[in-house]
Amino acid sequence: MTQPVLTVEDVMAWNERTHAEWRKLFTEHPEALAIPCDITGTKNVAELMQHIIAPEIRYAQQLSGLPIADYKDIPYDSVDAIYATHEHAMTLFRELLASDTIDWDAKFEFTTRSFGQARSTRKAVLFHALTHGIRHYAQLTTLVRQHGISHKLPQDYLVMHLEIVNKSLAG
């Protein structure tokens, strides 16, 4: 019997879907970026979005052997700026995944904002970059709802392949 496997393609699709749904919400409600927020020491939702996007681009750059963006230079002043950074990171990840020369189990040194210089496998860094924002988006769901912005975006992995068979049995 084989074990079920969650592939990097599956996780990237989940990441992309989550970001796309939030981008749509922020485009419809740009005022949400100004909502006060203290998650991870931020002052507002825009800063939280920077915190969500920063690991994606910084780890994508490091895995690609590129210079690392300074955290303070990662833009969060508009919906477009935030998601342009996300899209650039996803492009870098796709390029890395298209290469057949990368040993994803090999350890490499990288820089983190929290821990400084660290070492882990390339695979661990990649999956962290792709899943880091999911938990913060869950926190953000509660926050925007508390500020009157209706949010019914399905964020669980389950909905990636969900087919409703009989809604009358729900409950």
In the annotated binding site for a divalent metal cation, the residues are: 51, 132, 136
Q: What does the alpha-carbon distance between residue 132 and residue 17 come to, in Å, rounded to a whole number?
A: 14
CB 135: neighbour CB atoms within 10 A?
A: 11
Q: What does the alpha-carbon distance between residue 130 and residue 121 come to, in Å, rounded to a whole number?
A: 14
> In whole angstroms, how far apart are CA 154 and each of 11, 146, 159?
15, 18, 7
Q: Where are the beta strands (DSSP E) in the chain?
A: 107-112, 116-121
Contact 85, 74 (CB under 8 A): yes
Q: Binding site: what residues are annotated?
A: 51, 132, 136
Q: Angle at the Cα of 158 (from 155 to 161), degrees rounded to 5?
A: 110
Name the one residue in this structure whose structure tokens are 């508390």.
146
> In whole angstroms, how far apart are CA 38 and each of 51, 87, 98?
12, 26, 38
